[in-house]
Amino acid sequence: MMRMGVLDAETMQPYVKPLFNSTDLQELPDFHVIARMLVNGFPQRPFVFNTIPMPEMRINKNMDQIVDSLRRWHSKPVSEVEKQINERLNIEVQ
């Protein structure tokens, strides 16, 4: 469980007590998680561990060109799509 709001923390508290309470669930630091695992079908004591932050996203300098190219390749004009829908529904457009 990652940091959560008041209502979710109250709902999840029974799964982490007595070691942690709803306040602990609400105040988890960034990149920290409380986990409660099953081992051979039996619940274990909950514990805290750190997660790894996502790597910084690098924006490709050609992003606009890539998006435009993908739009041309994978999309159709709205008018064409509406025409195909109307043809399938046998609707005459005046």
User: How far is the C-alpha of 81 from the C-alpha of 12, rounded, in Å?
Assistant: 47
The count of C-alpha atoms lying within 13 angstroms of the C-alpha of 26, restricted to the half-sphere facing its C-beta, is 11
Contact 25, 16 (CB under 8 A): yes
Closest among 38, 43, 6 to 25, alpha carbons compared: 6
User: How far is the C-alpha of 31 from the C-alpha of 51, rounded, in Å?
Assistant: 5
Question: Residue-wise pLDDT tens for the chain (94 aa)?
Answer: 999 999 999 999 999 999 999 999 999 999 999 999 999 999 999 999 999 988 888 888 888 899 999 998 999 999 999 999 988 898 766 5
- Non-local CB neighbours of 32 within 8 Å, separated by 6+ positions: 2, 3, 48, 49, 50, 51
Query: Taking the model in full, what pTM does it have?
Result: 0.57
